[in-house]
């Protein structure tokens, strides 16, 4: 990325006053990046910003409370930071935000599908329009826009919403590649039994590792999650599809009015369960009723923490 050196310079300047700066670096194969914790000057050189920088690093912020933390954010990640600030879960003065103009990150599941198998990647070169991946027996050339995560294809916030340092030129409001919630609307047009059966089928393979929860930047209960609580006993420990669905409903509802649709829940799932759709449904309803979008205004009050005596968009049932 063009601005990467500029970003490194900004981090170099800020690092003496910070305990750690969160960024990304290379991982176990050329197709993956991994969160990178920059503590020392020499760590800065390993920093790499690319369409592989998929992780939402805001997830680490509440756990680093009390430390001086720098964080490199994509536009979507900055919304999680805003939401955390809004909920007083982090202190603004402890956080130094490094923004850059994000042109989208990949969806590893899409790449895996396009390659057939992603276990033997030798090299991966990403240009503005293409990803060229060399596996042991073949070179694959993939169109970048097709490999982008769905959230990037509908992105309206490519530049960090808040930042202390911003490198590169801001993109402004891009033309989305897709309309919001198209997949959700297609799903909603299915019949009742189809929708009911879909979640049973998809969640049957859930192993209850709770990576969806742990990767979520706004799942801030951490070690005190309802999923494992015995009292109240929301869920049994059985390998039961009912409990698996129920947990996803709990997650979606606890995110109502807070979720920024960063998609970490779905990305983290080791068995590729499409759990983001439940949160999207919640968000779309909240947008329709309250004209509210989470994580764009640090001063805003989330809709479920306030009320109006007369609700404009709620029509109650007449009996």
CB of 220 to other proteins, least distance (A): 13
Of the pair 57, 90, the CB lying nearest other proteins is at 57
Beta bridge partners of 135: 121
In angstroms, the CA 24 to CA 52 distance is 9
Q: Sort residue 230 into left (φ over 0), alpha (ψ -120 to 50) or beta.
A: alpha
Of the pair 169, 196, the CB lying nearest other proteins is at 196
Of the pair 80, 101, the CB lying nearest other proteins is at 80
In angstroms, the CA 61 to CA 228 distance is 23
CB of 181 to other proteins, least distance (A): 11
Of the pair 124, 161, the CB lying nearest other proteins is at 124
Largest CA distance in the chain: 70
Task: Give the residue among 6, 46, 1 at the shortest CA–CA distance from 27.
Answer: 46
Of the pair 114, 171, the CB lying nearest other proteins is at 114
CB of 111 to other proteins, least distance (A): 11
Of the pair 95, 268, the CB lying nearest other proteins is at 268
**Long-range contacts: 242-248, Cβ < 8 Å, 24+?**
243/208, 244/203, 244/204, 244/206, 244/208, 245/199, 245/200, 245/203, 247/208, 247/210, 248/199, 248/203, 248/212, 248/275, 248/278
What DSSP element (H or E) covers 152?
A: helix 150-153
CB of 292 to other proteins, least distance (A): 11
In angstroms, the CA 286 to CA 66 distance is 33
Task: Give the residue among 22, 89, 31, 103 at the shortest CA–CA distance from 56.
Answer: 22
Of the pair 147, 161, the CB lying nearest other proteins is at 147
> What is the residue-wise DSSP string for 25-48?
EE-SSTT-EEEEEE-SGGGGGG--
CB of 9 to other proteins, least distance (A): 24
CB of 34 to other proteins, least distance (A): 4
CB of 214 to other proteins, least distance (A): 4
Contact 275, 251 (CB under 8 A): yes
Q: Within a 10 A sphere around the Cβ of 219, how many other Cβ atoms?
A: 21
CB of 162 to other proteins, least distance (A): 23
In angstroms, the CA 275 to CA 261 distance is 11
Of the pair 147, 268, the CB lying nearest other proteins is at 268
């Amino acid at each position: 990325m063009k601005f990467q050196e500029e970003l490194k310079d900004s981090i170099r300047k800020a690092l003496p006053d910070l305990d750690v700066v969160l960024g990304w670096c290379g991982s176990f194969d050329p197709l993956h990046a991994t969160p990178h914790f920059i503590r020392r000057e020499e760590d800065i050189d390993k920093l790499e910003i690319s369409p592989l920088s998929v992780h939402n690093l805001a997830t680490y912020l509440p756990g680093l409370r009390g430390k001086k933390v720098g964080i490199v954010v994509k536009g979507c990640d900055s919304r999680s930071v805003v939401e955390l600030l809004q909920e007083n879960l982090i202190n603004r003065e402890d956080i130094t935000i490094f923004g850059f103009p994000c042109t989208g990150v990949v969806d590893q599941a899409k790449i895996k599908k396009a390659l057939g198998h992603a276990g033997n990647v030798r090299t991966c070169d990403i240009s503005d329009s293409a990803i060229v991946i060399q596996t042991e027996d073949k070179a694959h050339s993939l169109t970048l826009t097709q490999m982008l995560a769905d959230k990037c294809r509908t992105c309206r916030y490519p530049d960090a919403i808040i930042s202390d340092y911003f490198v590169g030129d801001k993109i402004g409001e891009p033309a989305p590649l897709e309309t919001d919630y198209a997949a959700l609307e297609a799903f909603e047009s299915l019949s009742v039994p189809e929708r009911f059966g879909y979640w049973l089928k998809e969640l049957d393979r859930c192993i209850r590792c709770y990576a969806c929860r742990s990767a979520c930047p706004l799942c801030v209960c951490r070690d005190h999650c309802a999923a494992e609580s015995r009292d109240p006993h929301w869920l049994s420990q059985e390998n039961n599809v009912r409990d698996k669905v129920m947990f996803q409903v709990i997650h979606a509802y606890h995110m109502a009015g807070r979720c920024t649709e960063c998609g970490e829940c779905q990305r983290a799932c080791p068995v590729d369960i499409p759990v983001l759709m439940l949160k999207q449904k919640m968000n779309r309803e909240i947008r329709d009723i309250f004209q509210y979008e989470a994580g764009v205004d640090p001063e805003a009050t989330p809709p479920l923490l306030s009320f109006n005596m007369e609700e404009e968009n709620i029509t109650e049932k007449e009996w």
